[in-house]
Amino acid sequence: MSIASAIFRSREPEGGAYHIAFGATALALAATVFYVDTYTDIEGAIAVLYAITVLLAAQAITRVGLITLSCLCGFLSLVSYALTHAGETDLQAMLRLVVALAALVITTMLLVKTETARLALLSINAALRESEGRYRSIFDRTRVALWERDYSKLHAVLMGLKQQGIVDVRAHARAHPGFTERCIDLITVVASNEAGKELLGCDASATGTLKQSITTASDKFLDMLQAIMDNRRVFEDKVLIRTHGGDDKLVLLSISFPEEPLAFHRVIVSMVDITQRELALKALGEAQAELTKASKAAAVGVMSASLAHELNQPLGAIVVNAQTLLRWLDRDPPDLAAARRCAERMVRDSQRASDIIHNTRSLLARRDGSTETFDLDAFIEDTLALLEHELDRSGTKVRIEREHTPPVRAVKIELQQVLINLLTNAIQAMDEAGIENRAIIVRTESQDAGTIRLTIRDTGPGIAEAIRDKLFSPFFTTKATGMGIGLSICRATLEARGGSLTGDNHPQGGAVFSILMPVHPEVERA
Ligand code: ADP
Is 70 exceeded by the pLDDT of residue 476? yes
Write down the pLDDT at residue 302: 64
Is 70 exceeded by the pLDDT of residue 296? no
Q: 3-class DSSP state for residue 192?
A: strand
The C-alpha atoms of residue 234 and residue 507 are separated, in whole angstroms, by 72
Residue 10, CB-side half-sphere exposure with 13 Å CA sphere: 7
Report the residue count for the chain. 526
Write down the pLDDT at residue 209: 61
Using the mean position of ligand 1's atoms as its centre, give its distance from the Cα of residue 310 in Å: 15
Which string of DSSP letters, residue by residue, matches 329-341?
HHSSS--HHHHHH
What is the residue type of 404?
A: H
Using CA of residue 175, residue 177, residue 179, residue 180, what is the dihedral sign?
positive
Q: Quick check: CB of 478 below 6 Å from ligand 1?
A: yes
Average pLDDT of the chain to the nearest whole number: 85
The predicted-structure confidence for 83-104, as pLDDT tens digits, reads as follows: 888 777 788 888 888 988 999 9
User: Is 97 in contact with 81 (CB distance < 8 Å)?
Assistant: yes
Using the mean position of ligand 1's atoms as its centre, give its distance from the Cα of residue 429 in Å: 7
Residue 237, CB-side half-sphere exposure with 13 Å CA sphere: 13
Residue 27 makes CB contacts below 8 A (sequence gap 6+) with none
Question: Among the atoms of ligand 1, which is closest to the Cα of residue 510?
Answer: 24
Q: Quick check: CB of 258 below 6 Å from ligand 1?
A: no
Confidence of residue 525 (pLDDT cuts 50, 70, 90): very low
Q: 3-class DSSP state for residue 417?
A: helix
Q: Quick check: CB of 456 below 6 Å from ligand 1?
A: no
Q: What integer is the mean pLDDT of 383-391?
A: 84
Mutate to test the pocket of ligand 1, among 309, 310, 487, 501 (most ligand atoms within 8 A of CB): 487
Q: For 113-120, which contacts have Cβ atoms below 8 Å and span 24 or more sequence positions?
A: 114/58, 115/58, 115/62, 115/63, 115/66, 116/63
Write down the pLDDT at residue 299: 58
Write down the pLDDT at residue 430: 96
Question: Among the atoms of ligand 1, which is closest to the Cα of residue 426?
Answer: 23
Number of Cβ within 10 Å of residue 402's Cβ equals 12
Write down the pLDDT at residue 45: 73
The C-alpha atoms of residue 70 and residue 354 are separated, in whole angstroms, by 117
Angle at which helices 412-432 and 376-386 cross, to 10°: 50
Is 80 exceeded by the pLDDT of residue 215? no
The predicted-structure confidence for 136-177, as pLDDT tens digits, reads as follows: 888 888 888 898 899 999 999 999 999 999 999 999 999 998
Output the residue whose Cα is nearest ligand 1's atom 7.
Answer: 486
Q: Quick check: CB of 492 below 6 Å from ligand 1?
A: no
Between residues 172 and 526, the one the model is more confident about: 172
Beta bridge partners of 511: 505
Using the mean position of ligand 1's atoms as its centre, give its distance from the Cα of residue 499 in Å: 20
Q: What percent of the chain has pLDDT over 90?
A: 36
Is 60 exceeded by the pLDDT of residue 295? no
User: Is 279 in contact with 270 (CB distance < 8 Å)?
Assistant: no
User: Is 147 in contact with 269 (CB distance < 8 Å)?
Assistant: yes
What are the backbone angles phi and psi of residue 401, rounded to the nearest 5°?
-110, 110
Using the mean position of ligand 1's atoms as its centre, give its distance from the Cα of residue 506 in Å: 15
Write down the pLDDT at residue 40: 85
Q: What integer is the mean pLDDT of 359-379?
A: 72
Write down the pLDDT at residue 208: 58
Number of Cβ within 10 Å of residue 358's Cβ equals 12
Write down all domains in the chain, each with its CATH number in brackets. Answer: 3-137 (no CATH), 142-273 (3.30.450.20), 368-518 (3.30.565.10)
Confidence of residue 204 (pLDDT cuts 50, 70, 90): very low
Using the mean position of ligand 1's atoms as its centre, give its distance from the Cα of residue 425 in Å: 6
Question: In 3D, which of 106, 103, 18, 117 has the Cα closest to residue 59?
Answer: 18
What is the residue type of 289?
A: A
Mutate to test the pocket of ligand 1, among 421, 438, 477, 514 (most ligand atoms within 8 A of CB): 477
Q: What is the Cα gyration radius of the chain?
A: 51
The C-alpha atoms of residue 56 and residue 28 are separated, in whole angstroms, by 11
The C-alpha atoms of residue 460 and residue 512 are separated, in whole angstroms, by 10
Q: What percent of the chain has pLDDT over 70?
A: 89
The predicted-structure confidence for 227-270, as pLDDT tens digits, reads as follows: 999 999 999 998 888 888 888 888 999 999 999 888 999 899 99
Question: Among the atoms of ligand 1, which is closest to the Cα of residue 513?
Answer: 23
Query: Is the whole-model pTM more than 0.95?
Result: no
Confidence of residue 409 (pLDDT cuts 50, 70, 90): confident
Using the mean position of ligand 1's atoms as its centre, give its distance from the Cα of residue 368 in Å: 28
Is 80 exceeded by the pLDDT of residue 376? yes
